[in-house]
């Protein structure tokens, strides 16, 4: 099966930078992740070409997704938490710099729900800011997904064989950006930058129950 490289039609490299800037915080998986999903998503960025170069905090800090009660209860048994504040606890092993896993049990609409997040503990407000963001996102009256959430869900659920990072074969300004493989029909697989997927390509990569959700309206 052939692989065809597809470059986005972007004239200004600075626009690429803006399109891929990471907003904090951000939901990276739709639905409730089971334990197998949890461990797989602990490091979605393990294959970053610059993983051990420079400050990687912005890559991880702000990511969050919902988990089940079993996973939430299991985590403190793996390693004693760094700290516990009621239903919130932080893991003592840091993913990078001062960023570590923080787990929440939050009552939303009369039900207790559980979440895994990455918070930068160098910011004393990060834990509470994350809790507020989760509650705000999960109490919206209409079930919807933003374009960014769709892309993050695709990245989270795509296996390493079908996702990667733009290498030296791409223009310099695009190197290191996330890429995914798409089915190109008779032309074989097509490699594209994640953030340049069209609405049709995004829909094709999402599970059926997520394809037709409306886009989140701007606040």
Q: What is the pLDDT of residues 153-167, one digit of tens each?
A: 999 999 888 999 998
Q: For the segment 8-60, what is each residue's pLDDT rounded down to a tens digit?
A: 333 333 333 323 334 488 999 998 998 888 888 888 888 888 777 777 888 89
Task: Establish if 181 belongs to a structural domain.
Answer: yes
Task: Establish if 26 belongs to a structural domain.
Answer: yes
Task: Establish if 188 belongs to a structural domain.
Answer: yes
Cα 103 from Cα 113, distance rounded (Å) = 11
The structural domain count of the chain equals 1
pTM for this model (two decimals):
0.81
Q: What is the pLDDT of residue 93?
A: 92
- Can you read off the two tokens belonging to residue 150? 């769709």
| CA distances for 191 relative to 19, 20, 72, 148, 150, angstroms | 18, 17, 36, 19, 18
For 176, counting Cβ atoms within 10 Å of its Cβ (0-12 exposed, 13-18 middle, 19+ buried), the class is: middle
Task: Establish if 127 belongs to a structural domain.
Answer: yes
Task: Establish if 201 belongs to a structural domain.
Answer: yes
User: What residue numbers bound the domain in which 184 lies?
Assistant: 3-211
In this structure, the number of other CB atoms found within 10 A of the CB of residue 46 comes to 8
Number of helical (H) and strand (E) elements in the chain, helices listed first? 8, 10
Task: Establish if 216 belongs to a structural domain.
Answer: no
Task: Establish if 219 belongs to a structural domain.
Answer: no
Task: Establish if 17 belongs to a structural domain.
Answer: yes
């Amino acid at each position: 099966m052939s692989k065809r490289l597809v470059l986005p039609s972007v004239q200004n490299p600075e626009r690429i930078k803006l399109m891929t800037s990471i907003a904090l915080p951000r939901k990276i998986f739709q639905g409730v992740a089971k334990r197998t999903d949890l461990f797989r998503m602990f490091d979605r960025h393990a294959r970053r070409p610059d993983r051990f170069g420079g400050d990687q905090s912005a890559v991880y800090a702000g990511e969050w997704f919902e988990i089940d009660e079993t996973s939430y209860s299991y985590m403190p048994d793996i390693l004693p938490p760094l700290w516990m504040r009621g239903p919130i606890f932080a893991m003592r092993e840091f993913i990078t710099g001062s960023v570590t896993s923080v787990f929440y049990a939050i009552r939303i609409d009369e039900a207790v729900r559980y979440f895994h997040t990455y918070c930068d503990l160098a910011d004393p407000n990060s834990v509470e800011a994350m809790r507020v963001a989760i509650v705000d996102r999960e109490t919206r009256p209409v079930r919807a997904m933003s374009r960014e959430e769709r892309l993050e869900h695709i990245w989270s659920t795509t296996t390493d064989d079908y996702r990667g990072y733009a290498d030296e074969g791409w223009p310099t300004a695009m190197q290191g950006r996330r890429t995914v493989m798409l089915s190109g029909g008779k032309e074989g697989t097509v490699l594209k930058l994640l953030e340049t997927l069209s609405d049709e390509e995004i829909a094709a990569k999402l599970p059926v129950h997520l394809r037709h959700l409306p886009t989140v309206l701007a606040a």
